[in-house]
Amino acid sequence: MASAQSLSFNLGKETMQLKSKYKHFSGTTEYYQHDSQVNHAPMNFAVFLPEQIKRKQLPVLYWLSGLTCTEENFMIKAGAQRVAAELGIVIVTMDTSPRNLGIEGEDDSYDFGSGAGFYVNATEQKWSRHYNMYDYVTKELPEIIEAHFNVNNNKSIFGHSMGGHGALMIALKNPGYYQSVSAFSPIVAPSQCLWGQKALGGYLGDDKALWQAYDSCELLKNAEERLPILIDQGTDDEFLQQYLMPEKLQQVCEQYNHPLNLRMQEGYDHSYYFIATFVADHIRYHAEYLNVET
Amino acid sequence: MASAQSLSFNLGKETMQLKSKYKHFSGTTEYYQHDSQVNHAPMNFAVFLPEQIKRKQLPVLYWLSGLTCTEENFMIKAGAQRVAAELGIVIVTMDTSPRNLGIEGEDDSYDFGSGAGFYVNATEQKWSRHYNMYDYVTKELPEIIEAHFNVNNNKSIFGHSMGGHGALMIALKNPGYYQSVSAFSPIVAPSQCLWGQKALGGYLGDDKALWQAYDSCELLKNAEERLPILIDQGTDDEFLQQYLMPEKLQQVCEQYNHPLNLRMQEGYDHSYYFIATFVADHIRYHAEYLNVET
């Protein structure tokens, strides 16, 4: 796999359009649109820039959202900026797919197509030109962030549900690239649940060997790096038994001696009320790996 | 004016319908609908119940939202529950009007009718049966909260924009009823701005003497109680000059020796990004008056 640094998009500032900007905890939450070269479509992302960025380079924490979400949900609902402002961490969120492409069926369901990119590079002809969210998150977007904002090379990644899958999978596939990884209610074994089977089948076709390259439970078996994993999972999550199945990850982690801190949170569900409750824990966890000076 | 206690609605639990409930910062954020007796229509409210309520009676902090908002906006965007959970304060929010009543024109504009009750009791015939948000907030809703949840008699009130107007006006009209009051970007002189003139004219008719009974700058001149006022106002708020005009309140407060802490917050706008930034300050401020044991 090409490293993010080897792939240059040469994006000038003129290709990025600032859509809105809000002062927030002394820093700013900003929304951008740009023409994605890997997705061949406009993409939206958001960034929280702590006030400290005026004086020094800051590390970046990437958030990957779940099904249907845009770059906005986490920024307005999680309450993450309070802690990121305190610790001096840039937060980046992105839309969960390109949208309004005119691909037949792209808006037919909440769990495939628009809002459901699943963080893979599609190989099926219908989707392969525009649905390359893996390259977008791991290569194009970091390059944009590093080109346009005063950040250092330290980066970590976390996410929720489909985005929890994305964060774990991406960290496992890119040893050394992220300082730390965590997830809320992640889909840990997409090959083994209906959401994942629909998405991986749709974007990658029927060859399940291709699916395994995006399945955290499979990737863990050959992980080059023992990057510790932090997961929070609500016990009252309606998707727990059929879709999320963290016990499958736990089993592989035990078998392969991979460090996992799986916290089952009593009574919490799948919502942003749950994420908001524990997001500060996650940001402080990542701060330890991001060499934040406090 | 009748005190809240003198007006009994005899609401049984059967009249309140729990619409949804989320575990949140060890407590719960809950959404209810009930048949309002003062508005003769279904009304929605939300309540955050800290975990401590299982063991002791807690004080209540009422939040009044701005134009177009429902009971949900503050609950999902402000990040208030984190601090309320820590301090043991119940938070109550309510919709900004009844909705879907079939009144001609009720949905024609964002600043009148649905989502824009302005916290007054309408006297104009068209609106007077259903638009009695003043009685709803000061009488019916507190009675419901006190009947159904383990709260004590200490209550405070705050709000944003139209809801900042509501909070200040209601506190001024009810001396001794609220322990403290604060506001974000409040409409302090509705008689003197277009939003207020449209709403007060529409709900109360052309007699400006009636308007003054809901105008904080007027009410302050005869305030029986010198309850201190805390206000946060962003300097980059697009509505500052024409609609909010905090300098008018400041002038009256100086003239009548009413304690006011008006904090002009450099660079902040009218949004929930602003509210989220300073909401913890406000909740800690109210906690001092609500006799919270920490």
Scanning chain B, the segments in alpha helix (DSSP H) are 72-77, 80-87, 125-128, 133-135, 141-148, 162-173, 194-204, 208-212, 216-219, 246-255, 272-289
User: What three-state secondary structure class fits A189?
Assistant: coil
Q: How far is CA A8 from CA A11, A25, A129, A140, in A?
A: 8, 33, 19, 8
The catalytic position among A161, A180, A182, A216 is: A161
pLDDT: is B110 or A6 the higher one?
B110
For B22, which of A23, A82, A273 is closest by C-beta distance?
A273
For this structure, is B156 an active site residue?
no
Q: Catalytic residue among B36, B65, B161, B180, which? A: B161
ipTM above 0.90, yes or no: yes
Question: Among residues 46-105 of chain B, which lie with CB inside 8 Å of chain A?
Answer: 76-77, 79, 81-82
pLDDT at position B74? 98
Q: What is the pLDDT of residues A111-131, one digit of tens each?
A: 999 999 999 999 999 999 999
Structure tokens at B272: 């929930």
Average pLDDT on A90-96 reads: 98
pLDDT over threshold 90, residue B25: yes
List pLDDT tens digits, range A202-232.
Answer: 999 999 999 999 999 999 999 988 999 999 9
Say whether pLDDT at A7 is over 90: no
Residue B68 reports pLDDT greater than 90: yes
Rounded Cα distance, B109 and A171, in Å? 49
Q: What pLDDT does B2 receive?
A: 35
Q: Is B270 a catalytic residue?
A: yes
| Angle (nearest 5°) at CA A56 between A84 and A47 | 40
- pLDDT tens string A154-196: 999 999 999 999 999 999 999 999 999 999 999 999 999 999 9
Q: How far apart are CA A58 and CA A286, in angstroms?
A: 13
Beta-bridge mates of residue A41: A36
Helix (H, G, I), strand (E, B) or coil at B243: helix
Chain A interface test: which of B21, B273, B278, B279 (most A C-beta within 10 Å): B273
Distance CA A231, CA A248 (A): 13
Say how many C-beta atoms besides its own lie within 10 A of residue B2's C-beta. Answer: 9
Confirm whether B161 is a catalytic residue.
yes
Which candidate in B76, B184, B238, B283 is best for mutational testing of the A interface (most A CBs within 10 A)? B76
Distance from CA of A62 to the nearest CA of B (A): 20
pLDDT recorded at residue B15? 77
pLDDT greater than 60 at residue A12: no
Question: What is the per-residue pLDDT for A1?
Answer: 34
Whether residue A3 is predicted with pLDDT greater than 80 in this model: the reply is no
pLDDT value of residue B9: 52
Give pLDDT tens digits for B191-236.
999 999 999 999 999 999 999 999 999 999 999 889 999 999 999 9
Please tell me which residue in B160, B180, B237, B286 is annotated as part of the active site.
Answer: B237
pLDDT of B102 reads: 96
Q: With an 8 Å Cβ cutoff, are A22 and B81 in contact?
A: no
**What pLDDT shows up at residue A11?**
54
- Average pLDDT score over chain B: 94
Residue in B24, B77, B269 closest to A273 by CB: B24
Gap between the Cα atoms of A111 and A242, Å rounded: 15
pLDDT of residue A293: 72
Cβ-defined contact of A23 to B234 (cutoff 8 Å):
yes
Minimal Cα–Cα distance from B273 to chain A, Å? 5
